């Protein structure tokens, strides 16, 4: 059978819609409601000194959510590369994406039962959901090279992020209305938050049906060796890939840069609401309005930075966005005092958010050896949207040591600065040549034929 056509509009549309589907979890759960609400639930369970003791581990209630975020992504770091390696030996990429998408969406729906002092329930459900969304996006991102030609990847990646910002923003807007009208509807604000958290899971699950109906299955990229199961072959392939990274020094350098600067970006996104509530005393309605600004501005920001990339180049556009990111964090530390300041910061973040994320994904896709997309994107996903672990860990430690959210947020800037410094030295053209020259001999054009 012949391979499915590339740049197919129907398939591209289905791919975009998965960003629309899962972004509701990032905006409603991670960025707005989960941090402040889970922190309040943890405080309700805390002892007289403000500490909780999950599984016997003593920690400040205010550090519980950052630590859960960090733990969920640490689990991704351990298991996602293995899943990516296994997927290259099967034609189940779409099915594996669906499995983790629905595991995550049901876990998010379960957050409706987060109330009282059930902070452990919230932590476990969030861990499952955040791990699952990261796993599903490994396989989602791996479709990019299958469905878009090299010259269109910046545009396709940017449009995907734009759809995501729009979808996540629309559900968040609806949840903001629900939260603001809670009293009139005869429910408490806490109940409105629980409904909002669960709605993200419902939205995610319903709209995932679209990519499942439109994305086409490909044949396995590699043939399963004789007398080996998927797990054994996946472990061996993972070891082979990690050992062979030295053959792609520019790809490795970009990956290290990305894991650093995007870890910082995702930490700002995930913990900005907690910072606004605890440090500035902002109302949840103000925090939600700010995130709405970020979402809808980011929709245009992704397209604006796609244009900047065309005028300059992709790497230069990313560098510009990172310089603005560093300035934004310094602004948050030194000058952020009022709700108006917080809204201004949200608008600035919105402009650069889309550019830094969408262009990083498309640039990385060009430096992946053909036939190893899922494997390489599994490492990339360790610090993709909403997933980071070192920076929130540093944030939590900084807050525990200083009891200052300003110092905690400033500590995150170190990740952006280090990532930016490494990115400057990445030679993109050489990286593309390295990936092409050393591509796996098993990755032939025939291996990408459509599955019956």
Q: What is the pLDDT of residues 309-350, one digit of tens each?
A: 999 999 999 999 999 999 999 998 988 889 989 999 889 988
447: pLDDT confidence band, cut at 50, 70 and 90? Answer: very low
Beta-strand pair 51-52/59-60: antiparallel
pLDDT tens for 190-217 read 999 999 999 999 999 999 999 999 998 7
pLDDT score for 238: 66
pTM here?
Answer: 0.75
Instruction: Give CA separation, 227 vs 86, 223, 233, 241, 267, in Å.
Output: 15, 12, 10, 21, 44
Residue 383 pLDDT exceeds 60: no
Dist CA 25 CA 86 (whole Å): 26
Residue 150 pLDDT exceeds 70: yes
Asked which of 16-25, 383-392, 416-425 is least confident by mean pLDDT, the reply is 383-392
Residues 6+ apart with CB under 8 A from 181: none
Residues 6+ apart with CB under 8 A from 367: 248, 250, 251, 254, 428, 431, 432, 434, 435
Dist CA 46 CA 208 (whole Å): 38
């Amino acid at each position: 059978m012949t391979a499915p056509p590339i740049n197919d509009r129907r398939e591209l549309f289905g791919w975009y819609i998965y960003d629309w589907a899962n972004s509701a979890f990032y905006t409603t759960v991670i960025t707005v409601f989960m941090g402040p609400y889970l922190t309040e639930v943890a405080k309700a369970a805390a002892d007289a000194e403000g500490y909780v003791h999950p599984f016997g581990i003593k920690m400040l209630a205010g550090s519980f959510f950052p630590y859960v975020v960090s733990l969920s992504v640490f689990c991704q770091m351990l298991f996602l590369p293995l899943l990516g390696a296994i997927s290259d030996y099967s034609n189940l990429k779409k099915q594996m994406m669906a499995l983790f998408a629905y595991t995550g969406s049901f876990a998010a729906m379960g957050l409706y039962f987060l109330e009282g002092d059930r902070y452990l329930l919230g932590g476990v459900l969030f861990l499952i959901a955040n791990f699952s969304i990261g796993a599903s996006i490994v396989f989602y991102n791996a479709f990019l090279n299958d469905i878009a030609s090299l010259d269109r990847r910046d545009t396709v990646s940017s449009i995907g992020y734009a759809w995501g910002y729009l979808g996540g923003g629309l559900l968040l807007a609806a949840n903001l209305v629900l939260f603001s009208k809670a009293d009139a509807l005869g429910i408490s604000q806490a109940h409105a938050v629980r409904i909002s958290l669960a709605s993200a899971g419902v939205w995610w699950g319903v709209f995932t049906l679209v990519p499942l109906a439109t994305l086409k299955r490909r044949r396995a990229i590699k043939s399963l060796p004789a007398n080996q199961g998927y797990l054994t072959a996946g472990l061996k392939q993972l070891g082979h890939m990690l050992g062979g990274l030295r053959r792609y020094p520019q790809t490795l350098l970009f990956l290290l840069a990305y894991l650093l600067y995007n870890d910082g970006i995702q930490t700002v996104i995930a913990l900005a609401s907690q910072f606004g509530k605890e440090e500035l005393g902002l109302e949840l309605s103000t925090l939600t309005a700010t995130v709405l600004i970020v979402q809808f501005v980011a929709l245009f920001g992704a397209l604006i930075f796609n244009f900047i990339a065309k005028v300059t180049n992709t790497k230069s556009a990313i560098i510009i966005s990172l310089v603005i990111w560093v300035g934004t964090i310094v602004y948050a530390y030194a000058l952020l005092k009022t709700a108006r300041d917080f809204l201004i910061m949200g608008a600035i973040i919105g402009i650069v958010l889309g550019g830094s994320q969408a262009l990083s994904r498309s640039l990385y896709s060009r430096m992946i050896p053909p036939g190893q997309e899922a494997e390489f994107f599994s490492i990339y996903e360790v610090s993709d949207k909403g997933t980071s672990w070192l920076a929130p860990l540093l944030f939590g430690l900084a807050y525990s040591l200083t009891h200052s959210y300003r110092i905690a947020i400033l500590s995150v800037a170190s990740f952006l600065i280090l990532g930016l410094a490494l990115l400057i030295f990445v030679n993109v053209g050489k990286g593309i040549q390295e990936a092409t020259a050393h591509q796996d001999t098993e990755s032939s054009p025939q291996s990408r034929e459509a599955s019956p």
